[in-house]
């Protein structure tokens, strides 16, 4: 059987650690050929704990596919399921890959450093990551609210600080002293 079209669909249970809250995308399954270990959120962990059990009540084997069928078998692509889901929800013009763009944009709006978003998306450089990110008006409003409530730090020197000599005034060490 050919490999799945996306690293997400090739993720196996042996590459997920629910105790360490992370998953590993192995080099042979990654587009860039590099192994990456990524953290998982508490929400994703809860979902993974629910789907780790097969219909027979037993946990999927380590070789089972995390985003596979009900018994941990390999799924080659989400197109049919995605199309059906979108049609049933009345959603048009939304592609499965759009979720990747959305995730990167929401991470950035949540305050993640850009290089962390880059790592989560598995991009080689920030330019590639920036093509994925979309800022919403709500996100801009939230950023402005955070900016408006952040403490301000003065860039002017404090009144009790000693001010350096002006540029045209000789410093004390340069002043000549004459003794009569």
For residue 17, the cross-strand partners are 22
Pair (35, 107) in one structural domain: no
Kindly state whether residue 161 falls inside one of the protein's structural domains. Answer: no
Whether pTM > 0.85 for this model: the answer is no
Pair (74, 1) in one structural domain: yes
Pair (127, 58) in one structural domain: no
Cα separation of 12 and 23, whole Å? 9
Domain that holds residue 27: 1-78
Pair (51, 109) in one structural domain: no
Cα separation of 37 and 19, whole Å? 14
User: Is residue 47 within 8 Å of residue 66, measured between CB atoms?
Assistant: no
The set of residues, in sequence order, having a beta carbon less than 8 Å from that of 51 and lying 6+ positions away, is 66
What is the count of structural domains for the chain? 2
Kindly state whether residue 157 falls inside one of the protein's structural domains. Answer: no
Pair (6, 69) in one structural domain: yes
Kindly state whether residue 172 falls inside one of the protein's structural domains. Answer: no
**Per-residue pLDDT tens digits of the chain, which is 180 residues long:** 444 456 788 899 999 999 999 999 898 888 778 898 999 999 999 999 999 999 999 999 999 999 888 899 998 888 888 898 899 999 999 998 888 888 888 888 888 888 888 888 888 888 888 877 776 676 677 777 877 787 777 666 665 555 555 555 555 444 454 454
């Amino acid at each position: 059987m050919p490999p799945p079209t996306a690293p997400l669909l090739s993720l196996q249970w042996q590459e997920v650690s629910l105790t360490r809250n992370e998953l590993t995308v192995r080099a042979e399954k990654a587009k860039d050929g590099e192994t990456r270990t990524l953290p998982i959120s508490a929400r994703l962990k809860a979902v993974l704990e629910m789907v780790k059990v097969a219909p027979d009540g037993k946990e999927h084997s380590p070789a089972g596919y995390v985003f596979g069928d009900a018994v941990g078998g390999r799924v080659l692509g989400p197109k049919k399921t995605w199309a059906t889901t979108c049609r049933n929800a009345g959603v048009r013009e939304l592609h499965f890959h759009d979720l990747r763009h959305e995730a990167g944009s929401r991470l950035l709006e949540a305050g993640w450093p850009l290089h962390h978003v880059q790592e989560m998306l598995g991009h080689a450089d920030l330019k590639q990551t920036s093509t994925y990110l979309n800022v919403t008006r709500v996100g801009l409003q939230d950023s402005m609210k955070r900016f408006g409530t952040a403490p301000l730090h003065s860039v002017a020197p404090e009144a009790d600080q000693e001010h350096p000599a002006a540029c045209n005034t000789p410093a004390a060490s340069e002043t000549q002293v004459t003794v009569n």
